[in-house]
Each structure stands twice: as C-alpha cells, then as structure tokens.
Amino acid sequence: MSQDTQVVANLRAVQSAIADAASTAGRQAGSVTLVAVSKTHPAEHVRPALLAGQRVFGENRVQEARAKWPALKADFPGVELHLIGPLQTNKVREAVELFDVIETVDRPRLAQALAAECARQGRRPRCLIQVNSGREPQKAGIDPDEADAFIDACRTRWNLAVAGLMCIPPFDQDPRAHFELLVDIARRNGLPTLSMGMSGDYAAAIACGATHVRIGTAIFGERDYG
C-alpha cells in the first residue's frame, strides 16, 4: 500500500473503532471528536487525511505548526487546529494566531499572557485546562487540587473561553482512574469538553466519557524523531 492509501485506511479503521467504543458505552458516535495528531509528519502525509475529510488536527509544537499549517488551512477550509504540547509564554502570540483550540493551559502566567494576547488580536481560541492527573513532577498540567481555583480564575479573571479539560495519564498506569478524575473535575465545574485518550487507550477514554481523543501513531504510523 502507498503511504497515502495507508493513512486513509488507518483513518477509517480508527473512525470505526471510535464509533464501536462509543456504541459500547451507549454513546452516539458523533459525541466523540477525533483529533488527528500530525506532529513530526510532513504536510504531504497529512494531505491524504484532509482529502479523506478529516478536519480536526493536533500539533505539539508552535514552530512546526507554523511551518506546516497555514498552507494546508488555505487549501482545506474548515480545519480546526489544536495545540496539544506545552506552550511557552514567548510563543503565545503565534499560538493565538494559528490555533483554534489550546489544550495545554496549565499555569497562571500562561493564562494571563493568553488573555492579553487574545485581547490584542481580537481572537478567542477555545482553551482546555491541562490537569497533571498523576501529579508527575516532570509533567505539565495544573495539580488536581488546584484545578477548581485555576479554572475559576481562567474564566472570571482572565476571561478565557474555557471549554474543558485535558490530561495525559502516566504511561505505566491504568489510565481509567485518571480519566475518571478528569470527569469529576469537569462535572463539578460545568465543563463539557474532555480531551483524553491516545492511540493506546482511547477505547477506555471513550468508555469514561472522552469528547475528544488525540490519535497520532494509529493514523500516521510511528514517529521518526531522528
């Protein structure tokens, strides 16, 4: 199979697995949005997914997304681009210009910088609060104990368009407890969006209530960081 054909076949298989997982959980297939994670993959490998109708994509680096996406967005109207990697405050301007959803809002300084930049540009990307559900010291995300206060500040103090929550569970644990923690925080804060689940655990995430699953490898293949 050519690379293009493989990407489209993988995309179809993932879409159908998402529909199955939703149906098993008694949910509508349309209640789960696939975020196709195209990081490290060049534009020519992303085009076949766009041609097949996929419109929601995730990138983890602002610089890479800036090099890749303006041309693709011009060719394919209706693309929704999600930032799923850590955001440094000195990249906030470019991030607000380019991304429709910023999934990694995780600290007051960043929220404040985003608020200032949104006001300057007159743009208001939807924001997800990243929660460090496993309280891992090396991982980004707000501590679960600080989540309620931070969500409230993002809404009322910084006027961000907070749509929901995102987490990346520790890779060596059953992710379910982490997904459930996120569900609890979302529920008590009235947040509808839950971005959780990757190639290895998205069925479990959908069973727990994910509205967005972020899937790279299962669609585009292994990443080459060489």
Ligand X SMILES: *Cc1c(COP(=O)(O)O)cnc(C)c1O
User: Which CB sits closer to ligand X, 155 or 176?
Assistant: 176
Sole window of 61-69, 115-123, 148-156, 209-217 interacting with ligand X (rule: CB under 6 A): 209-217
The separation between the first and the last C-alpha atoms of the chain, rounded to the nearest angstrom, is 24
Count the residues in the chain: 226
Residue closer to ligand X, measured from CB, 114 or 198 = 198
For ligand X, the closer of residues 39 and 45 by Cβ is 39
Nearer to ligand X, 25 or 140 (CB): 140
Question: From CA 179, how far away is CA 23, in angstroms rounded?
Answer: 19
By CB under 6 A, tell whether 169 contacts ligand X.
Answer: no
Residue 46 found at the interface with ligand X (CB under 6 A): no
Give me the least distance between CB of 200 and ligand X, in Å please.
6
Query: Does 39 help bind ligand X (rule: CB under 6 A)?
Result: yes
Contact window for ligand X (CB under 6 A) among 74-82, 92-100, 157-165, 212-220: 212-220
Residues engaged in binding ligand X (CB under 6 A): 37, 39, 60, 84-85, 168, 198-200, 214-218
